[in-house]
Structure 1
Amino acid sequence: MSSIKEQEAISRLMAFYQEWDNGNKAARSRIMNSFIALNRGKTGPELEQEFSQGGSLFLARLTTWLRLSYLFGTCLSEILQSVAIFLSAANGNRFMFEFVEVGGILTLLEILGLKHLKEEHKKESLKLLQILANAGRNYKELICESYGVRAIAECLAKSKLEETQEQAQVLLDSLAHGNPKYQNQAYKGLIALLPCASPKAQQLALQTLRIVQAIVNTAHPSIVDPLLGVLRSMHLEIQYEAIQLIKELIHTEVRPALLKGLVARLRPSQKESTKPRPQILDDSTVPQLTEPLPIFMQQAACAKAIGMLARESMELCEELIQLRVVHNLLFVMGNKDHTESQRQASLAVEYFVLSFSSVAEQVRKAIGENLFQMLMDNAEMLYMKMDTVQADILTSNQVNIPKVKEVTD
């Protein structure tokens, strides 16, 4: 009796494969949609039972058609969703091995780089790569060895859909965990994303870097310049993430470079100041700015970061003062073109003055008793009260504090 049932099952399976092999695009699409609807969430043994122990034959047909048609996007969503059922099946490790053996990882990574394919195709490919990465270290290494980090990072940077970008972020984060051989590759890939043009990609990269930094332990020197460059962003959420990462990196070996970079960026170089500005900034109906707006945003963010770091420890305060931070902060305070940078710089200077008697003495001498008293009365609103002459005094200050003495009161 069992033999008759087995023969019937085999006959049905052969008829199924014959329908697939002889079917056109519409027929195969119908077959896959039916397969997806009936088999989502099934385990490996259940899928084998469904195909009379011949599930691998259908997976092989799917992967073959995937490799032949992915360049044209033919039924690509259905193929990827069908493959996902096999790869995500519990106790279906054999399916993963078979998919990888025929070059499945390379195909998925190539899909990420094809401009003409839809975002949903790239999103599905990222999900499949996540399934593989979550299956163990060996698969993570195979993805990285296939130049996967670069392909995933480029997809994150260039994608127009936030959901696709978030899937890429999850995958990069996964490749950095439990993957000691290539965790630094994932770390550097995230750093490479910081200068990209997509604000969402920058935000996601910064969030992931904060997690991955704890894994790699050692901060790479190449992170300093792109991280400080992100402070030019017009998006406050990106500035927030950048400052939070700076606060964590300040306890690593890049601390000297970070402090020096923050102080230096309070005063833009001549090269930065003369960069071409957007045409809208020259419109007669809007206020004229003497420097590009991103520079002002960077000054405000640097002043804010410096104030936060100074409050962490007296040691950091002293290091910043030795870098002439007060001199540069006073310069920013006199910049009448951007009130937020003035406000943040005033608050930072106030903290240094209240913390060190020698700083208070030198600042009073440099800016005069009247302006100094205005600073101490209300640092946050100082920018609204000072006149042009006082602003010039601040921008031309020559404060230099070689030694600091902490206020004991």
Structure 2
Amino acid sequence: MTERSASSALRWLRHQLRCWDKGDRVTRTKMLDEFIERHAHETGPQLEKYYGNGASLFLTRISAWLKLTYVESIALDKQLNAISIFLSAANGTRYLAEFVDFGGLLSILDLLSIKEIDEQDKCSALKLLLQIAHAGRFYKELICSFNGMQVTVGLLEQANFPHTRLLVYDVFLVLGSGNPKYSNKVQAEIIAMISTRNIHALRLGMQAIRRLVCSSTHMHVIQSSSRSHTHNNLLQLIDKTIPLLGSPDFEVQYEAFELIQSMCMTKSASVGVYIVESLYKLLIKSSHELDRNVQLHLLMEKENEASPVDIAQATAAKILYQSLHRLFENEEVREAIMTEKYFRAILSTIANDGHYESRQHAANLFETLTTLDMDKAFALTQVLAGDELLYLLCENPQRDLESKHLDALRLLGKAEG
């Protein structure tokens, strides 16, 4: 930008404002193009110098035109890009405050909720929303108070482009972090979305909630009472995620696995016991535990694929044996696992000769339990299965059992069911 005197800058500003005020749609669009080309990557002071300390007057006009025309999508991409230059300018926090005070944030949220607006324009609006949210806690709270989470959740479920979904994902993370007043509500909105039938939205929702809820720091401090919002959010999250362990969609299954395994890191005894009891229901192959989304996926299932019930059972056993050392650090969780009913479920899963992974992971779980608490594991197995099966399983839980032994173990599961 060339050097300009204060008087020439002021004359230029007056000329620009006059042209804008008298100009039609074509004139204003051309002015926006020139502004974007000339001022991209400039600082707030540079903008002020060019416009004679009156850059805010131009921002106000663009913001006003946006409010009047965004429903019709008139030069929407150019208006959003021009506003972005103001908001992203270094030392330009005043522009951000002025834009929000003028109602710009409400306009952004409203246009994101209008189905007819082009998705590329919504991407530009999401970038503006992120700029506002990154400005600090006050603006995060303001976005949430204007139902920003509901708007972005709705957009995620309608989005067609991966780029749009990733921007919404970023909004989730920003609004859910450093925002104590609304963090539980942000989490609750994402958790509620896990019921969606949209696979893309489902996967990103689970990724976001894992980042927000299951960070090591967060999980280590959750020792509050069952009445706390955070605790209730976790229980709801478990309820919605456990059934997805049986999803035939591998990526959904993977995200559910990672989410539940991360939650096993909690120090909260009640949450740990809740997870263990929820996984138990999958071990006993309760088909009624399957999510309705999984039932819909059954229509896409091939004949040679494992059933969602078997997939869920195998994944539950895998989570348990991989997380067992951490779970056993809590005495209440340990006691919930070292029970007759739990061993019935594990032993009957070992007998699931129709699904190799169920047998394998259940055998690994049994072997790990005998390592961590040998006396009690042996005693429970002896009571349930007898001396011969105790010997065979302790010698090699992965071994191929005779049909009479498999039948005996299957009966344990039927007795429990």
State TM-score, norm by structure 2.
0.81
2:251 is aligned with 1:249: no
Percent identity over paired residues: 27
Partner of 1:278: 298
- Which shifted more, 123-132 or 357-366? 357-366
Is residue 207 of structure 1 aligned with residue 224 of structure 2?
Answer: no
Is 1:303 the counterpart of 2:317? The answer is yes
| Residue correspondence of structure 1 range 5-404 to structure 2 within 5 A | 6=6, 8-196=8-196, 197-198=198-199, 199-211=203-215, 213=218, 217=222, 218-220=230-232, 221-233=235-247, 234-235=250-251, 236-249=253-266, 251=268, 253-269=270-286, 271-272=288-289, 278-281=298-301, 286-287=303-304, 293-312=307-326, 313=328, 315=331, 316-322=333-339, 324-354=341-371, 355-364=373-382, 366-367=384-385, 372-380=390-398, 382=399, 385-386=400-401, 388-397=403-412
Contact 2:156 2:165 in 1 (8 A): yes
RMSD (Å) for aligned C-alpha atoms = 3.2
8 Å Cα contact 1:108/1:129 also seen in 2: yes
Paired residues of 1:317 and 1:352 also in contact (CA < 8 A): no
Could you tell me how far apart the structure 2 residues matched to 1:15 and 1:265 are?
A: 72
Aligned mates of 1:215, 1:36 — CA distance in 2:
47
Aligned residue type for 1:263: Y
Secondary structure class of the residue paired with 1:396: helix
How far off is 1:7 after superposition? 5.1
SS of the counterpart of 2:264?
A: helix
* Residue-by-residue CA offset, 1:64-114 (whole Å, 9 max, x unaligned): 222222223332222111111111222222211211112211221223223
Name the aligned partner's letter for residue 72 of structure 1. Answer: E
Q: What residue identity is the alignment partner of 2:397?
A: A
CA contact (8 A) 2:348 2:413 kept: no
CA distance in 1, matches of 2:316, 2:21: 63
Bigger shift: 272-281 or 238-247?
272-281
* Cα distance between partner residues in 1 of 2:91 and 2:220: 30
| TM-score, length-scaled by structure 1 | 0.83
Answer yes or no: is the 8 Å Cα contact 1:263–1:323 preserved in 2.
no
Query: CA, structure 1 residues 304+7, in 2 after alignment: closer, same or farther (shift >3 Å)?
Result: same
CA distance in 1, matches of 2:19, 2:175: 40
Aligned partner letter, 1:310: L
Point out where structure 2 has 5 or more consecutive residues left out of the alignment.
223-229
Give the deviation of 1:371 after TM superposition. Answer: 5.1
Q: Is the 8 A contact 2:214 2:259 kept in 1?
A: no
1:107–1:130 Cα change, 3 Å: same
Alpha-carbon distance in structure 2 between the residues aligned to 1:280 and 1:173: 33
Q: Which residue of 1 aligns with 2:225?
A: none
* Partners of 2:194 and 2:206 within 8 A in 1: yes
Q: Which letter maps to 2:236?
A: S
Q: Verify the 8 A CA contact 1:331 1:396 in the aligned structure 2.
A: yes
Out of 389-398 and 326-335, give the one that drifted further: 389-398
Pick which of 212-221 and 74-83 moved more. 212-221
Q: Deviations over 1:331-358 (max 9, x none)?
A: 2222333322221112111222343224
Alpha-carbon spacing, 1:259–1:16, altered in 2? closer, same or farther (3 Å):
same
Q: Equivalents in 2 of 1:248, 1:52: separation in Å? A: 57
Q: 2 CA distance for matches of 1:38 and 1:11?
A: 18
